[in-house]
Amino acid sequence: HLITGPAIAAFDLLGAANAEFWASQAMAVLLATLSVMALWTVLRALDVKHAWIWTALALIISGFSFRLLLAKASSLAVGAFIVVLGAMALRRPATAFFAGALFALSHGGWIIAIIAAVAMLAGDVIARRFVQDDAWEIAIRDAPWRAFGGLVTGIALGLVIHPNCFEIFQFLWVQTFKAGLLTSSAVIQGREWLPSNPGELLAEIAPLVIAGLLGALGLMFTPIRMTEKKDDGTLRPDYLNRMRLVIMLALPTAITVALTLKSARFIEYLVPALTLWLASLWQLVDPRRLKAELARARNDLSPLARRVIVPLLVTLAATLALHPASRPWSSLRRGAKTFDSY
């Protein structure tokens, strides 16, 4: 609410009627844009090719766009969550500190940032032990502990300076545990706390599912090239880093999948985590090899099948991917539901 204060004052100075109404609309779009820019920036920092494509795939998922555009500070927390994942992956303590403090100040669910960071710590240790074949002592020692420490310190600072610091842990217990996990009948819940239907969730995130299936197919056709190996036959450090990143991001993605199946509102965390994971997975794929294999499979079909089946599959995939893009517009546009009805 403090964040919307300057916007309300600005519209008051302009003499606009219903300044709170216009300020909330403006800030909803601004905070959503900041979260989207955070996703694009983290993708770029991870050296992901075509970061704008992955950002667009995330945005056309209706549940994610809908949650971002609500006039509340949770969209700012989503951006902080994305930055936390990037800071842990890139081992940047200062960035983790800033994101942790912002998360704790803007949203009561800051505990999810710690859970995701712990999962990434575990993923880093597992990758170093079983992919790089480091000893357990070395794998644990070389985990991104400084970035994790920066996150915890930032969250602690955010909680201390929070205006409601004395009630915030009670709020965490009610919101996260009684409402989110225990589903207590003593707490009146909104519809967003209801469990997700697995089939509907799969259809909703279809753009990323299709990208993931293509990525898995690409991995099958992408052997580890000689350029990825050193003279002694071992993998080069940059390739190992990409493999480790995939494992690190897989664990928080799995956690957000479980949370979303428990409560539909967690799709705002699932989509960016899944996007980052799939984008890192595609870093191991050779697109030219995948394209050549798909072209060869197409040429092996009969002429009739090439004219009918291939266009049908392409149309089906495009429809499944683009259909969710219309849902945020149909549910959020002024003609469907006025802003003040929220």
Q: How far apart are CA 98 and CA 96, in angstroms?
A: 6
pLDDT, averaged per 10 consecutive residues of the chain (342 residues), comes to 78 83 84 94 94 92 85 85 97 96 87 95 93 90 95 94 80 70 59 79 88 88 60 68 92 94 90 96 86 79 78 79 69 61 53
Of 88, 108, 89, nearest in space to 155 by CA: 108
Residues in Cβ contact with 296 at an 8 Å cutoff, skipping those fewer than 6 apart: none
pLDDT of residue 333: 65
pLDDT of residue 253: 96
Residues in Cβ contact with 108 at an 8 Å cutoff, skipping those fewer than 6 apart: 168, 171, 172, 175, 176
Amino acid of residue 320: L
3-state SS track over 163-206? CCCCCHHHHHHHHHHHHHHCCCCCCCCCHHHCCCCHHHHHHHCH
pLDDT of residue 87: 97
**DSSP H stretches of helix in the chain:** 5-13, 19-45, 51-59, 62-68, 74-90, 93-106, 111-130, 136-141, 145-161, 168-172, 198-204, 206-220, 237-262, 267-282, 287-299, 303-322, 326-332
pLDDT of residue 340: 58
